[in-house]
Amino acid sequence: MPKKTIEDIDVKGKRVLLRVDFNVPLDVNTGAISDDSRIQASLPTIKYLIDHKSRIILCSHLGRPKGNVVENLRMAPIAQRLSQLMDVPVSTASDCIGQEVESKVETLKEGDILVLENLRFHPEEEANDADFARKLASLADIYVNDAFGTAHRAHASTVGVAKYLPTVAGFLMKKELEMMEKFLHDSARPSVCLIGGAKVSDKIELLQNMLRRVDILLVAGGMAATFLKAQGYEVGRSLIENDKLGLARKLLQEAQEWRVPFLLPIDVVVAEEIKAGAPTRIVPTTDIPSGSHIVDIGPQSIELFCSELKKCRTIMWNGPMGIYEIPQFAQGTRSIASFLSTLNAITIIGGGSSAEVVQEMGLTDKMTHVSTGGGASLRFLEGVALPGVEILLDKE
């Protein structure tokens, strides 16, 4: 990797401001952490800093408090869970800047961990306010960014602090970047990108970049309806981006010119209402009823996609096959996830909802890499420079 990591800098005894992505999902009823995988993903970096006698100052956002203090979005439960996972004491601060925080940092001994309060309780965080960034940076000697999930955001804690401190990557950031970089530039062939999700507009740049990077492109989810419509098919009441029909035709034409198979579902599950318990039918994509919504891919499409995936040595998956939030419309997504877990191939799950499905099904350990950053991985795969990566020190 061309960027420096914590192994390239002396952290012994230093105060290290470690940006992590502890924006974990919380149970709506109890407020308890429902999935701690993002906390676990940063443990190697934290353990390294402990082993090297650093004074560790952790900072993260949680949820969307929009610049206000929201009691059920405080970091204390996160710190408690981290303490359990690490089996070491973890202290907390009632804010992320200010006199109390500075006093707590002063008392840190080698190997101690302090978790700052939710960064987004301050509107200055998302505004990348220079004074806020300076105050954060003043707490430490070194800045380590291990929050790949926020690397596409130019916030005070992801780019602003780098103006004041030596800035390097943690092990999670390093792993994410190496996996994505290898997929884009040095993947084992043949390679395939399986793209789902609701809208073509969300994935335009990804589709365009993948046409030049992979050997096969598989497209499903809600966005498939726009491509089917562009080919002249009836898609019923499915969500269509009419202003993207021309672009869809252009992408299909480019795929032909690049000789990249661009495969869409050949059968789909349809329902007249998008709600749990709604009656469903499986129909060919050439015979979608005018009053129906496409809610999932059908069994023949699952078989087609799996046969293509089986041919490949490297697989990138980003986005669900249908409306997976409703269990009866999740069969396509779950079938694909299950099949990927059986393959002797490099399987990269591009974060977001795809990662949620894999984690919920207990398949994480059977994939080569499950990204912790849906938005960041999407931007990276589009070929876009990530602000939180650009600010890392170069090795050369």
Residue 16, CA distances (Å) to 9, 19, 342 in order: 11, 9, 40
Active-site annotation holds for 375: yes
Is position 199 annotated as part of the catalytic site?
A: yes
195: which 2 tokens?
């793209």
Do 195 and 320 contact (CB within 8 A), yes or no? no
Return the bridge partners of 168, or none. Answer: 144
* Number of C-beta neighbours around residue 203 at 10 A: 22
User: Which one-letter amino acid corresponds to residue 333?
Assistant: T
Q: State the Cα–Cα distance between residues 337 and 278, nearest whole angstrom.
A: 24
- CA–CA gap between residue 113 and residue 79 (Å, rounded): 9
Of 63, 67, 375, 383, catalytic: 375
The residue from 199, 249, 310, 366 that is catalytic is 199
Residues contacting 362, CB < 8 A, separation 6+: none
DSSP state letter for 388: H
* Catalytically annotated residue among 38, 153, 174, 203: 38
Is 4 an active-site residue?
no
Beta-carbon contacts of 257 under 8 Å, excluding residues fewer than 6 positions away, are none
- Whether the bond between 190 and the residue before it is cis, its omega within 30 degrees of 0, is yes
Q: Is 311 noted as a catalytic residue in this protein?
A: no
The length of the chain is 396
**Which residue is catalytic, options 196, 352, 373, 388?**
352
Backbone torsions φ then ψ of 159, nearest 5 degrees: -130, -35
Q: What positions carry a catalytic annotation?
A: 38, 199, 352, 375
